[in-house]
Structure 1
Amino acid sequence: MRKTTAVATALTVALTGAAAHADERSDGTALSPLGTYATGAFDRSAAEIVAHDPRHQRLYVVNALAATVEVVDISDPTAPTKLFDLAAPGVPAADGSVVEEGVVANSVAIHGDTVAVAVEAADGTDPGWVVFYDTRGNALNAVRVGALPDMATFTPDGRLLLVANEGEPNDDFTVDPEGSISVIKVNRRPASVTQRDVRTADFRAWDEGRELPEGVRVFGPDLSTGEPGTPGRVARNLEPEYIVADTAHSAYAVLQEANAFAVIDLRTAEVTEIVPFGLKDHMEPGNGLDASDRDGAIRIENLPVYGMYQPDGFDSYRHEGRTLLVTANEGDVREWGDYAEGVRVKNLELCEDSPRLRPYLDANGLTLADLQRDENLGRLTVSAAEGLTEDGCHDELHAFGGRSFSIFTTDGEVVFDSGSDFERITAEANPDFFNSNHTENTFETRSDDKGPEPEGVTLGVIDGRTYAFVGLERVGGVMVYDITDPEGAAFVDYVNNRDFSATPGTPEAGDLGAEGLTFIAAEDSPLPGVPLLAVANEVSGTTTLFRVDLP
C-alpha cells in the first residue's frame, strides 16, 4: 500500500530538512508534516492533549501513562525535543491537601507564563486538583476541584481558569460523583490563588424543580441518596467533557453522554441553561453511513437510524455577531458495572409497527429479520435506553455519534453538518483500510461503531478566513474545512500521517489515534509567518507538527 501524500512528505522532510518548508509549499496539501516528538509508548495514552506556549516555542503534551505533562521545544519544528516533565505528586494545595501519588494528568492550559494542569485523583471519584506551574517548570500552587477534572482552559483575558469536572462513576457503578464546572479566579497571579477563589457551577437546580429540556439524556442507574443537600440524579448523571470560554463572562461545556451542552455565566459561576444537540437523521440525503463490519464492502447509504451527535472536543467562533459552536461528533457509550447502554441491533426486539422502521422496510421489501442481519443493521451498536416503547420494543434506533463535525448556534440549531463526508473521503483516500481501527490495520472494523470517530477540533484564522481542523481517532488523520461562511462550510483537504503498510506500534506506522489538536497562528509560529497545527496521538504516543498552507 502506498503511503499517503502526508507520509511521503514526512520522508521528504527527513531528506531535505526544514528549508523547503520554511520557504514554500512542498506539495498541494493543506497540511505538510514537519516533525514528530515520539514517546515510544504504544496504546498507552502517552500523548493526549497538547497546548502551545508562543513565548518560548514549546508544546505541553499530556502523557496520561506517566501522569505528567511533557514539555517539548519546537523552536525547530522539524526536530521537536523534550526538555522536561511537569509532575504533580507532592505539590501542596491551598486547601491543605497534597497532590497524591497515583494521580492522572488529563489536561493542560497555558496563558502567558502560567501553566495549569488538571489532575485526576488516584480514586477518580474523589475531588481532583489543578496544579499551577510557571513556564520554567516550577510548581507554584494547587487547588482542589471536582471529581475527574477532564479539561481545563483559560478565559481569553487569562483571569479565570475553567475546569470541566466529568464526575464519572467508578468501575462497578457503586459511586457516582456529580459533574460540575470549576471557575477559578487566577487574575494572572497563580501563586496567590486560594481555595476561596474556586467557585463551582453545578446542575443541582434541575434536581430541585427546574425542568430539564426534552432531549437531554438522563439515564442509567441512579445512585442518588435522597438526603437533603446531596446531588440528585441529574447532577450525578451529567458529565462535563470539554469546555470553551466564549468571552470573559460566558462559557459552554459539552455534556457528551447527555447529548447536550451547558451554558455557564462566569460572573455568577452558574449553569444558566442546558441545551440538547438533537438527533441526526441518517435517512436524509447526504447523511448516509456504513453500518456493518460484516458485509465485506464499503456501503455508505441512507438507513433508518438516528445519530446522537454526542461531541467530545469542540471550539467556538463569532460570525455576524453571534457565537457558533463547532463540534467533533464522536459519540460515547455509558458502560459501568453491570450497566451497558450499548447493544447491537440484532439483539433488540424491534416494533413491528414502528413508524420509523416500517416505511423503510416496505420500500425495500425487507422484514425486521432482514434488517437485523449482520450484513445490514444487525451489527450496529445503538442505545438500549433510547427508542424503547412502553410495550418493551424499540421503534427507533439511536446510534452513537454523528460521524461528522457540525456547527451549532448557542440555541442548539444546526447550521451545518458534514453529513457522510468523513466516511466518503476516507474511503476514497484508503479504500483497503476504510473504517480501520487505530491499533491495527483493518478493513471496516469500525463501521458498526462510530466509524472514523471524530474526536477533537480546533479552529484557526488565516488571511481573514476561518478553518476547522478535525482529528479522526480511528482511521486517523485530519479533515480541514473552510467555515468562514458557516452555512456554506466547504471541505478543503484530508491528510493522514499514517502508513498502513507498517505495523501499528512501530515508528514506521506514523500517527495513530488523533486526540488533541492545537492551531498555532502565523504570528505565534516558530516558522515566521507560517501557521502550524500540532496533533497529539494517544495510540502512537506521538505529537506531530504540520505546516498549514491555506488558502
Structure 2
Amino acid sequence: MTYRALCLTSAIALTASAAAAEMNFNRVASFPVVANMAEGEDTARESSAEIISASADGMTLVYSDSPLGVVGMIDITDPANPQPKGNVALEGGEPTAVSALGNTVFVGVNTSESFTAPSGYLMHLDMATGAEAGRCDLGGQPDSTAVAPDGSFVVVAVENERDEDAGDGRVPQMPAGHVSIIPLNADGTMQCDAQIRANVTGLAEVAGEDPEPEFVDVSANGEIVVTLQENNHIVVLSSTGEVVSHFSAGAVDLEGIDATDERAALLFNESQASVPREPDGIQWIDTDHFVTANEGDMDGGSRGFTVFNKDGSVVYESGVSFEHAIVQIGHYPDRRSDAKGVEPEGMEFGTFGGTPYVFLLAERSSIIGVYDMTDPANPTLKQLLPSGVAPEGAVAIPARNLLVTANEADLLEDGGARSHVMIYEYQDAPAVYPHITSAGMDTLTGWGANSGMVADADGTIWAVNDSFYGFQPTIFHIDPSQTPAQIVKAIPVTRGGQPAQLMDMEGITLDGEGGYWVASEGRLDRGILHALYHVNADGEIEATIPVPSELLAVESRFGFEGITKVGNTLWMAVQREWADDPKNHVKLVAYNLETEEWGAVRYEKAEPATGWVGLSEITAHGDHVYIIERDNQIGDAAVTKKVYRVALTEMVPAALGGDLPVVAKEEVVDLLPYLTSTGGYVLDKVEGLAITEDGTMWVSTDNDGVDDHSGETMLFSIEGGL
C-alpha cells in the first residue's frame, strides 16, 4: 500500500496535480511534556508547557510549567526527534514566564500569598546545570518577561493580577502593577540594585490607578512595549522607564460572527459593535510597528490582531478575517462563541528566508496563523498550522528554520491530550495542513465533528457531522482530488423543512437513487433514537426506521457507528458491546429494505490495552466490508487504530435474539503510522472510511467540535491492496 497526498514524517509526497514546491512551515514533531518527568515520578499530575524560549544555539528549548512548579528543557538537536532534558524545580513559587539569553534563562517566579499581597522574583538559571545564577525581588507578581535584543537588560511585566471572584472580577483591585527593568552586566548577570520599577499608573482611561501589565516586548533600539490588558491600553517605555507614548487599544466593530453559545450550530450571522480589543500578546515587527493579539478579558476580545504604529495610530486591523479563515478549516470552537471566539492570545515574530512573519496563536481553536508582515499595512495570511490544545507561547529559531509552540492544556482528567510542545520546520515543500477546507464555497461554511463517510461513483465523498452540532445536522460533499480536499456543498438535514433535531449521525451511505441512508447512534436518556433515516437529495428526511424491540431490550448508548449498503441490505456497525454480547464482541446489524427484516452477526474486537476498543465505521467494497476498529486512546497510549475486512460470504445475518455467528476478520492496514505522519500525536477518533471505485481508501478523524480537542481533522488516503 502507498500513502498519498499528505506526508510521511518530514518527507512530503506530492500529488500529481500539486504545483511546484514553495517554502512553508510544516510540523515535524510533538513532545509530550509529561516525558520530562523523571523515572518513578507520578505522571498522573498536571503539567503544562506555557511560555517557551530557546538557547542561543537553538538546540535546547526551555519552558515554564506552572502546575508542576518547574522549568522544563528539551533537546532539539534533532528537531524531528526531541528528547527530554528534565525539569528544574523552583523554590517556593511557580514559573510564569521564561526568556533565554545565551545558554541561561530568566524565569519569572510568582510567590504571592494572595491577590492583595502579591510577590515574586526573577531567577537567572544556568541551562546546562540547572543551577541558580542570581535572583532579583520584583515587588509583585510577574507575568511576562523579555530580554533586550542587545542583551543589555531584562524587563518584566509585574501584573499583580486581579481576583476574578472579588468586586465582580473587575479592576481596580489594588495593589497596582508596574514594569520592572533590570540592567544586565556584560556576562548576562543581573544588576538587581539598579532595577527600575517603571510606574504606568494614571495612563489608562479604564481603571488607570490599577494597571495590570500583561505582556512585554523589546524592540531592536531598546524600546519596551507593554499591554495593559484589563485597562485596554498600550504603553511604550524607554529602556530607562520613561513613557515614550501611551494610548487606548481602542475597539472594533465585528460583522459576521457567531456570538451565541448553547445553540449547537455554526451560524455566522451576528454582529457586535465597539468591542474593546483588550490585547494580550504583543510583538515588535520593526522599530516603529508592533502587533497585538486581541484576546480580551473583562469586556472585550475582538477575535483578531492589530498592527499599531508606536504613536498609537492603527496601521492594520484584521477584524473577523482571521476567525473566518479558522472557521473554514473546521477549527471554530462553537462553545466559545459568546466568549471571544477563537481567542487570539499570544504571538511570536521571526524572519525566515528574508520574509518577516508573525505567528498568531489562537488559544481556543488551537491554530497558529502565519502572516507575512513585509508590508505592515497589508499582512498576508500564508498558512494555518495545527497545534496542540491551547497554544500559549511560541519561539522562532530562524537560524535553524524552526518554529516551536508550547500548548498549555493538559486534559488528563478528561482522558484527553496531554500538554505538548510542537516543532515546525520551514521547508522547501508544500503545506501539509489543512487536509480539508470550505474556503472555496460561496458562503462562509463552518464544519467539524465529521463522522461517517461514503464515496460516490465519481470519486467524491459524502460525510456527516455528529450530535455535537445537534441543531445543525449536515451532509457535506467533499472533493478529495484537490489539495486540501474541498467541501463543495453543505446540505442541511431537515424534517418538515426545519433543521432536524435529536439525531446523532454517525454513518452515511448512498441509496442508489440520489439520496442517502443515515445511521443515528441513539442516546435514549437524551431522547435520541437508535434509528435509520432515509434522506432525499435535498436533505429532507423521508422515512425513519427505529430499531426493533429485540435490539432496544439490550441497547446501550454506544450504538450505530457506521452504515453501508450491500444489495438490498443495510449493514450497521455497533460501536461497543450491548447487554447480550460476550466480552469483546459487538454486533454488525442488518436491515433488509425489501423484507424489512432485521438480523445480525457478531464481530470480535481486540482486547483493550487501556480504556475501550470499539467499531467506528463500516464500508462495503468489492467482495468485502471494511471496518474501522479503534481504541479511545490518544498519543503514545494508542494501540488499536486499524482497518479490517470481512468477506461478504461471512455476512449472513441470523435472527435477533438467538445465537449469532462470529465472522472472520482480516487486518488490512494499521493506521498508527498515518496518524503520526504529520508530526502530531495520535488522535483518538478515527471515524470515517470511504472507498472509491478504484479501491482508494479515504480515512478521516472526528475533531469533537473543538471542545477539549485541538480541532485537528485528518483526511488521508491509502491506495492499493484492496
Contact 2:227/2:279 (8 A) holds in 1: yes
State the distance in 2 between where 1:156 and 1:202 align: 23
Contact 2:288/2:310 (8 A) holds in 1: yes
> Which residue pairs with 1:94 in the alignment?
none
Written as runs of structure 1 = structure 2, the 5 A alignment for 1:63-74 is 63-74=65-76
Amino acid in the other structure paired with 2:354: G
Which of 115, 121, 130 is the equivalent residue of 1:129?
121
> Which residue pairs with 1:176 in the alignment?
174
Indicate how the Cα distance of structure 1 residues 26 and 145 shifts in structure 2: closer, same or farther if over 3 A, else same.
farther
Which of 127, 133, 136 is the equivalent residue of 1:140?
133
Amino acid in the other structure paired with 1:292: T
Shift of 1:271: 3.4
Indicate how the Cα distance of structure 1 residues 43 and 247 shifts in structure 2: closer, same or farther if over 3 A, else same.
farther
> Which residue pairs with 2:225 in the alignment?
252
Indicate how the Cα distance of structure 1 residues 45 and 26 shifts in structure 2: closer, same or farther if over 3 A, else same.
farther
Contact 1:146/1:167 (8 A) holds in 2: no
Contact 1:168/1:176 (8 A) holds in 2: no
Which of 14, 29, 33 is the equivalent residue of 2:27?
33
Which of 201, 204, 207 is the equivalent residue of 2:198?
201
Written as runs of structure 1 = structure 2, the 5 A alignment for 1:21-420 is 30-40=24-34, 44=46, 46-55=48-57, 57-89=59-91, 101=92, 103-123=93-113, 125-136=117-128, 137-170=130-163, 173=166, 176-191=174-189, 193-204=190-201, 206=202, 212=203, 216-218=205-207, 234-235=208-209, 237-267=210-240, 269-282=241-254, 287-301=255-269, 303-318=271-286, 323-333=288-298, 383=299, 400-420=300-320
State the distance in 2 between where 1:194 and 1:141 align: 9
State the distance in 1 between where 2:82 and 2:346 align: 22
Secondary structure of the residue aligned to 1:459 is strand
Amino acid in the other structure paired with 1:275: F
Shift of 1:248: 4.8
Indicate how the Cα distance of structure 1 residues 445 and 111 shifts in structure 2: closer, same or farther if over 3 A, else same.
same
Contact 2:108/2:145 (8 A) holds in 1: yes
State the distance in 2 between where 1:313 and 1:449 align: 18
- Alignment of 1:545 with 2:423, yes or no, is yes
> Which residue pairs with 1:423 in the alignment?
323
Shift of 1:494: 1.1
- Alignment of 1:435 with 2:332, yes or no, is yes
Contact 1:470/1:480 (8 A) holds in 2: yes
Q: Deviations over 1:26-64 (max 9, x none)?
A: 988933111111024799461101101132600001111
Amino acid in the other structure paired with 1:166: E
- Alignment of 1:477 with 2:367, yes or no, is yes
In the TM superposition, structure 1's runs of 4+ consecutive aligned residues that sit over 6 Å from their partners are 25-29
Contact 2:156/2:181 (8 A) holds in 1: yes
Indicate how the Cα distance of structure 1 residues 71 and 280 shifts in structure 2: closer, same or farther if over 3 A, else same.
same
Secondary structure of the residue aligned to 1:156 is coil
Contact 1:300/1:423 (8 A) holds in 2: no
Per the normalisation by structure 1, the TM-score is: 0.67
Amino acid in the other structure paired with 1:130: L
Contact 1:42/1:541 (8 A) holds in 2: no
Shift of 1:74: 0.2
Shift of 1:129: 0.3
Contact 1:404/1:422 (8 A) holds in 2: yes
Q: Deviations over 1:279-308 (max 9, x none)?
A: 1122xxxx4321112444333246242221
State the distance in 2 between where 1:109 and 1:34 align: 24
> Which residue pairs with 1:96 in the alignment?
none
Secondary structure of the residue aligned to 2:136 is strand
Secondary structure of the residue aligned to 2:365 is coil
Which structure is richer in relative contact order (CA contacts within 8 A, separation 6 or more)? 1
State the distance in 1 between where 2:339 and 2:428 align: 33
> Which residue pairs with 1:536 in the alignment?
406
Shift of 1:72: 0.6
Secondary structure of the residue aligned to 1:488 is coil
Shift of 1:122: 4.1
State the distance in 2 between where 1:401 and 1:467 align: 23
Gaps of 5+ in 1: 90-100, 207-211, 219-233, 334-382, 384-399, 437-443, 498-510, 526-530
Shift of 1:403: 0.5
- Alignment of 1:515 with 2:392, yes or no, is yes
Count of matched residue positions in the alignment of Structure 1 and Structure 2: 396
Amino acid in the other structure paired with 1:139: E
The higher radius of gyration belongs to 2
Larger proportion of strand: 2
Indicate how the Cα distance of structure 1 residues 534 and 183 shifts in structure 2: closer, same or farther if over 3 A, else same.
same
State the distance in 1 between where 2:291 and 2:284 align: 6
Q: Deviations over 1:177-198 (max 9, x none)?
A: 221011101124355x353121
Gaps of 5+ in 2: 14-18, 35-42, 168-172, 410-417, 430-722
Amino acid in the other structure paired with 1:54: A
Shift of 1:143: 0.7
Secondary structure of the residue aligned to 1:445 is helix
Larger proportion of helix: 1
Q: Deviations over 1:215-255 (max 9, x none)?
A: x321xxxxxxxxxxxxxxx34x2100000111454211010
State the distance in 2 between where 1:278 and 1:425 align: 23
Shift of 1:328: 1.1
Secondary structure of the residue aligned to 1:242 is strand
Shift of 1:495: 2.1
RMSD: 2.7
